[in-house]
Amino acid sequence: KEGSASFMEYKTLEKSTNKFHQCNILGEGGFGCVYKAQFDVGSFAAVKKLNCANQDAKREFQNEVDLLCKFKHPNIISLLGFSSENEMRFIVYELMPNGSLETQLHGPSRGSSLTWDMRMKIALDTARGLEHLHEHCNPPVIHRDLKSSNILLDSAFNAKLSDFGLAVTDAAQNKNNLKLSGTLGYVAPEYLLDGKLTDKSDVYAFGVVLLELIFGRKPVEKLAPAQCQSIVTWAMPQLTDRSKLPSIVDPVIRDTMDLKHLYQVGKLLVKKMYCECHYLV
């Protein structure tokens, strides 16, 4: 990246975290807030300010910065800068004035303002962004959290993939990771049931986004993500240690039940949950 314009911007920002003015909050998430920010006169950007008390947020920050600075594609959000001075963590992106596809489709006032042509173009843009990650990056990248809230729209409604905190370049390394990542309703069944992660997991999520674009409705989430994670952790085949059972498991069951049996029960529960949550209302 050395010598490119964006490299210069990283450097400037690293040295002067206080040189932008927050204008207004664009939105909030578990990670912190996204602000509209002004740098020089007339120059706007979106700034994600992370809540760094959280170790996961710090890891995701680093992961996102490392990946985004390698991408250059019209359907992937551009990284303009970042800061990791002291305990502050900021990521600066190009501003996407039309917000997320989720807000466009399901937001309070916008409803069905997207025409069919626009929806087709958004689907195509999303597919192009994914194709870049899967086919043209070396090593290939799996996004792992594709959903309508991570597809952002610029002033001309061009769609770009965002939020690479959970993205991975080495699916094999992740296979043994007990922690379920992603968003219920978009998670591929083979990943939910067996932890099998491939680029097809993103393709499944893309299918859910297509259904949202066609029907204009959100995928159903019957269980809270934390409940889902507990159940999936419970059901994962790597689980052999009784002490690792999640706290929602009754202590009597935890201490007396045969672990193989427990695993089967967990798997059935996940299957039931999966059947209930993967359709559109």
Q: Which residues lie near ligand ACK (CB under 6 A)?
A: 26-27, 29, 34, 46, 77, 93, 95-96, 99-100, 102-103, 152, 162
Least distance (Å) from ligand ACK to the CB of residue 78?
Answer: 9
Residue number of the CB atom closest to ligand ACK? 27
* Gap between the Cα atoms of 219 and 81, Å rounded: 33
CA distances from 42 to 21, 82, 164, 220, 278 (A): 12, 20, 28, 41, 44
For ligand ACK, which is the closer residue by CB, 64 or 202? Answer: 64
Instruction: From the candidates 40, 56, 117, 145, give the one annotated as an active-site residue.
Output: 145
258 is catalytic: no
The pair of structure tokens assigned to 70 is 């390698």
φ, ψ (nearest 5 deg) of residue 139: -75, 160
Distance CA 191, CA 198 (A): 9
Residue number, 49 or 132, with CB nearest to ligand ACK: 49
Q: What is the nearest approach in angstroms of ligand ACK to the Cβ of residue 29?
A: 5
- In the annotated binding site, the residues are 49
Residue 55 amino acid letter? Q
User: Which residues line the annotated binding site for ATP?
Assistant: 49
Nearer CB in complex with ligand ACK: 154/190: 154
| 3-class DSSP state of 47 | strand
Report the C-alpha dihedral over residues 67, 69, 73, 77, rounded to 10 degrees.
Answer: 80
Measure the CA–CA gap between 80 and 102, rounded to whole angstroms: 24
> Measured from the CB of residue 45, what is the shortest distance to ligand ACK in angstroms?
8
Smaller CB separation from ligand ACK, 99 or 189: 99
Active site residues: 145
